[in-house]
Amino acid sequence: MIINGWEINDNLLEARKGSVTKHLQPLTSSLLVYLGQRAGRAVSKDELSYAVWGRAVTDHAIVMAMTEVRKAVGETAVITKIMRGYLIPKHLLGGTTQSGNQGEAHIVLGRDIEHYLRSL
């Protein structure tokens, strides 16, 4: 999945743009994939809490995690919609991966997040 020019590889827990590679924490990677799969729609804190953490978490925990997400793909890649949640604009998805595939068709997931969280 490509977000704001960064190729997110959930399997390797990294974001890559050109010759720059950033290591991602599992939570950051999961949030990026979850939000990227829902690009163009605001995702509420409650939805993120249960979908990514698997339980209710504090607003502070979400805000801190979103800070890490923004560090990974750029401050402007994730928009905070007051009283609605977080949104990655659809136009920031896609592009060409290093393998030459179109980003929207080249989603690299190391696990099915929703299935994994339901199994906890």
Cα dihedral 104/29/51/43 (nearest 10): -60
Query: How does residue 117 score in pLDDT terms, banded at 50, 70 and 90?
Result: very low
Q: Return the amino acid letter for 77.
A: A
Higher pLDDT, 117 or 82: 82
Domain containing residue 107: CATH number:
1.10.10.10
Q: Can you give the pTM of this predicted structure?
A: 0.78
Please name the residue ranges forming H helices in the chain.
26-37, 45-48, 59-73, 113-118
Task: Name the pLDDT band for 94 (thresholds 50, 70, 90).
Answer: confident
Domain carrying residue 42: 2-118
Number of domains in the chain: 1
Compare 97 and 90 and report the one with higher pLDDT: 90
Q: Output phi, psi for 19, to 5 deg.
A: -95, 5
List pLDDT tens digits, range 1-33. 999 999 999 999 999 999 999 999 999 999 999
Distance, in Å, from the CA atom of 5 to the CA atom of 37, rounded to the nearest integer, reads 15
Question: How far apart are alpha carbons 100 and 15 in whole angstroms?
Answer: 16
Give the per-residue pLDDT at 109: 39
